[in-house]
């Protein structure tokens, strides 16, 4: 499981879920390009349908010469033929189009000219979309500067919980907004101090946003950095709200799963395993949770009533799309870049088109990604089992 990368600039020590719980180009190559986030542009309007020639495609009998490699701060992009990409002809790439349209709400200069065509193709047959991708883009194998093409894929998700506006019944675990005095003390109080030091408790008085019933659920929310909470409003209506990352207390993140493993208290450091230990040791809950001094402060985002909540915003500033958005090291892959990924593990095989829309402090390196699995328990189960080899190909305009 595990980071929201940022979900709206959330910290990504949470880029690992299970892992977080337990623990040269030649002289003729292009010069290094150090990439900062590309500036946002206004939403793109689709052109008239006549502007795209849907019959245009590259003949399989003619393969154009490959361009030069691209050297980025954290990676080396090596141009390849489309035939190198596994599963290209079988992936339902139309499922990635909504994520691509989201990236086109904040396109960088490289993508601004193509976004109108991407918008026009939103409802086109999948074969036309696939043909356009081949015609307009060039695939590059992403490698480290040491020419290593393999890396690591992990997963993250957005918890979906139940909460209360008031401290009542079992709902006694507060989620806090940013305290007014946060900037006056760095690092701020630890998790244990927040629970026990009068000055810390006084600084958070009145900053309670919602209350949860389970302190471990609150810890999951802190690790993921963002989450959905179903609350009952004073008028009796139930609605979803999003607890979005706002800040931290600047304390280090320590894994409570690692703490349990190191003391041989458990052998299964998944959240079900941790919760099972808590059920057997209810008097030690605070002792366990205090091992992680980092606390996340939230801000509430209202969501439309009666509709499926959109995904949380990633570091690109657009909502994430379940199973089609990834967090990357932006020094390796710029935000908004379509990426072909291949990852095979004991239970999960992924050959698919995804969009680089998020990042995180744990997501570092040339071939490194965190896969956004979506919201809720099923997404958490998928994210929790992802820790497997990864290959990536960046798709870049010709």
The per-residue pLDDT for range 128-185, each reduced to its tens digit, is 999 999 999 999 999 999 999 999 999 999 999 999 999 999 999 999 999 999 989 9
325 with 99: CB under 8 angstroms? yes
pLDDT score of 19: 44
- Nearest 5°: CA angle at 143, between 62 and 93? 55
The per-residue pLDDT for range 284-316, each reduced to its tens digit, is 999 999 999 999 999 999 887 777 788 999 999
**Cα–Cα distance for residue pair 360/370, rounded to 1 Å:** 9
Contact partners, residue 221, CB within 8 Å, separation at least 6: 159, 161, 175, 212, 227, 243, 296
Q: Higher-confidence residue: 268 or 33?
A: 268
Name residue 396's beta-bridge partners.
138
pLDDT score of 53: 45
368 with 151: CB under 8 angstroms? yes
For tokens 């008028």, the residue is 235
Q: Higher-confidence residue: 292 or 268?
A: 292
Fold of 156-302: Ribosomal Protein L25; Chain P (2.40.240)
pLDDT score of 20: 42
Q: Closest by alpha carbon to 209, among 249, 189, 179?
A: 179
pLDDT score of 6: 45
**Cα–Cα distance for residue pair 101/119, rounded to 1 Å:** 6
The H-or-E segment that residue 392 falls in is strand 387-397
Range list of H helices, the chain: 18-21, 97-103, 109-112, 115-120, 126-136, 191-196, 198-204, 215-224, 256-262, 271-280, 285-289, 377-384
pTM of the model: 0.78
Report whether pLDDT(369) > 70. Answer: yes
The pLDDT-based confidence of 42 (bands split at 50, 70, 90) is very low
pLDDT score of 142: 98
Report whether pLDDT(60) > 80. Answer: no
Where do the domains of the chain lie? 57-77+93-154+315-397, 156-302
Which range among 114-123, 246-255, 294-303 has the greatest average pLDDT? 114-123
pLDDT score of 94: 97
Fold of 57-77+93-154+315-397: Barwin-like endoglucanases (2.40.40)
The pLDDT-based confidence of 62 (bands split at 50, 70, 90) is low
């Amino acid at each position: 499981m595990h980071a929201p990368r940022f979900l709206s600039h959330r910290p990504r020590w949470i880029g690992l879920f299970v892992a977080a719980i337990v623990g040269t180009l030649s002289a003729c190559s292009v010069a290094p390009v150090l990439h900062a986030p590309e500036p946002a542009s206004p939403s793109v309007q689709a052109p008239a349908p006549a502007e795209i020639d849907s019959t245009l495609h590259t003949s399989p009998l003619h393969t154009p010469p490959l361009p030069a490699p691209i050297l980025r701060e954290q990676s080396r992009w090596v141009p390849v033929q489309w035939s190198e990409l596994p599963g290209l002809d079988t992936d339902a790439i139309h499922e990635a189009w909504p994520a691509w349209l989201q990236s086109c709400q904040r396109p960088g200069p490289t993508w601004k000219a193509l976004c109108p065509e991407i918008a026009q193709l939103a409802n086109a047959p999948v074969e036309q979309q696939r043909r356009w991708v081949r015609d307009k883009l060039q695939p590059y194998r992403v490698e480290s500067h040491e020419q290593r093409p393999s890396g690591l894929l992990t997963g993250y998700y957005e918890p979906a919980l139940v909460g209360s506006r008031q401290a009542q019944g079992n709902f006694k675990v507060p989620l806090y907004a940013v305290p007014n005095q946060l900037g006056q003390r760095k690092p701020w109080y630890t998790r244990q101090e927040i629970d026990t030091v009068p000055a810390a408790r006084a600084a958070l008085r009145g900053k309670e946003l919602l209350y949860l019933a389970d302190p471990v659920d609150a810890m999951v929310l802190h690790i993921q950095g963002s989450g959905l909470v179903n609350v009952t409003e004073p008028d009796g209506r139930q609605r979803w709200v999003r607890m979005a990352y706002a800040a931290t207390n600047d304390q280090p993140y320590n894994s409570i799963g690692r703490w349990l493993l190191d003391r041989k208290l458990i052998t299964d450091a998944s959240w079900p395993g941790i919760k099972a230990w808590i059920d057997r040791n209810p008097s030690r809950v605070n002792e366990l949770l205090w091992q992680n001094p980092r606390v996340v402060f939230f801000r509430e985002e209202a969501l439309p009533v009666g509709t499926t909540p959109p995904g949380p915003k990633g570091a690109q500033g657009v909502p994430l799309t379940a199973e089609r958005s990834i967090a990357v090291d932006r020094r390796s892959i710029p935000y908004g870049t379509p990426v072909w990924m291949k990852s095979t593990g004991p239970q999960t095989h992924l050959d698919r088109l995804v969009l680089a829309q998020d990042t995180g402090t744990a997501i570092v390196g040339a071939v490194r990604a965190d896969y956004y699995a979506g919201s809720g328990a099923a997404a958490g189960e998928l994210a929790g089992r992802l820790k497997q080899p990864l290959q990536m190909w960046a798709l870049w305009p010709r």
